[in-house]
Amino acid sequence: MIIRALALAAGLAGAAGFSQFPEFTQQYVQRLGGAVDELARSVAAFDRDAAALGLDREAALGQLATGGAFGAARAETMRATLARHARLFGDLAALEGRSALARVPLVAHFADPEIAGRTWQAYRPGVPVTAEGAIFAGTGFVSGWLAVAFLLSLLSLPFRRRSSRKAGYRVEPVLHRPMTMERKPRLRATRGAASARAGARLPRDI
């Protein structure tokens, strides 16, 4: 009874959590697009400055790195900005325009901690009213139910083994004792008895 109650609670929690996946991913993609646009402006400004001096991107970064400690720090910051822009641009291209179900295999593209943190801070859970929300809710319920039921079954396995062992060594009470039949002593023949019987004569009639 307790296992069923815990499994039901886990199923409801899983349904509530999974049902928020479509809306959360939608808001994440929106923030992802904003971050890509912001980084794109910084990258475009750097490329324009480099092009004005007749330098490409790599040459501009190398020249900036030789400009003392501040220039080296700025070069490292710009390299990190360029790398992040390329990574987030790839994530946006993979996620944009796809449904929530199609985004499930693409969960690796939701890995940016900054965007995920901002999305979670501004997120407000809602009741799923779409077919996708219902599918995710049902999947979460079944997953939560099975996970907790399986875990509790594993935890209770040692206690089941102990109880089965005790039941196997149970001593049944003796309801009656078998009655032993008394044996009559056998008569043994002694020597001379046979000869006495053989030599005995019947009395004659007088």
Q: In this predicted model, which residue has the larger pLDDT, 151 or 137?
A: 151
Q: Count CB atoms within 10 A of the CB of residue 34.
A: 12
Please determine, for residue 196, whether its predicted confidence score (pLDDT) is greater than 50: no
Task: Please give the pLDDT value at position 96.
Answer: 93
Measured distance CA(134)–CA(128) in Å, rounded: 7
Measured distance CA(161)–CA(143) in Å, rounded: 27
Please determine, for residue 128, whether its predicted confidence score (pLDDT) is greater than 60: yes
Task: Please give the pLDDT value at position 28.
Answer: 95
Please determine, for residue 144, whether its predicted confidence score (pLDDT) is greater than 70: no
Contacts of 24 (CB under 8 A, 6+ apart): 119, 120, 123
Please determine, for residue 195, whether its predicted confidence score (pLDDT) is greater than 60: no
Task: Please give the pLDDT value at position 101.
Answer: 87
* Rounded CA Rg of the chain: 46
Q: What is the mean pLDDT of the chain?
A: 77
Highest mean pLDDT among 16-25, 115-124, 139-148, 192-201: 115-124
Output phi, psi for 143, to 5 deg.
-65, -45
What are 102-126's pLDDT values in tens digits?
A: 998 999 999 999 999 999 998 877 6
Q: In this predicted model, which residue has the larger pLDDT, 40 or 203?
A: 40
147, 10 Cβ separation under 8 angstroms = yes
Q: In this predicted model, which residue has the larger pLDDT, 94 or 165?
A: 94
